[in-house]
Amino acid sequence: MITRSKLVEQLRDYQIRSQHKCTALTVFSPKPLLSTWTDITVATLWALIFIVLLVSSYVTLSMTHYGISFVMLCLAIILPIRLKISRKSLARKRDRRFLLPLSM
């Protein structure tokens, strides 16, 4: 059932998403929306860590340290997946907060 509060929440989310220009950083954000400058800096930090892991994986691969390169590549793959999981769990918590209790 669509309630008025859900519609208002969806409209507010849409307006917040349309205001920010750094949509590429949402992949590296632990929060579903980049609403503050702190969220943007945290997402930038995670993006830099991802780039460092990829570059160091390439460097260790070129020095024929295959095991270390494989571990760094796995960490670089796991990082965005873990951030996506945390975004989904925060979104679920936010949606649960707006649900009415059973007694109402």
Mean pLDDT score across all residues of the chain: 82
Instruction: Say whether 12 sits in a helix, a strand or coil.
Output: helix
For residue 13, the model assigns a pLDDT of: 78
Residue 22 has pLDDT above 70, yes or no: no
Structure confidence by residue, pLDDT tens digits, 64-93: 899 999 999 999 999 999 988 888 888 788
For residue 59, the model assigns a pLDDT of: 93
Residue 80 to residues 9, 18, 73, 77, 87, Cα–Cα distance (Å): 26, 22, 12, 6, 10
When pLDDT is averaged across residues 48-53 and rounded to a whole number, the result is 93
Domain residue limits, the chain:
4-97
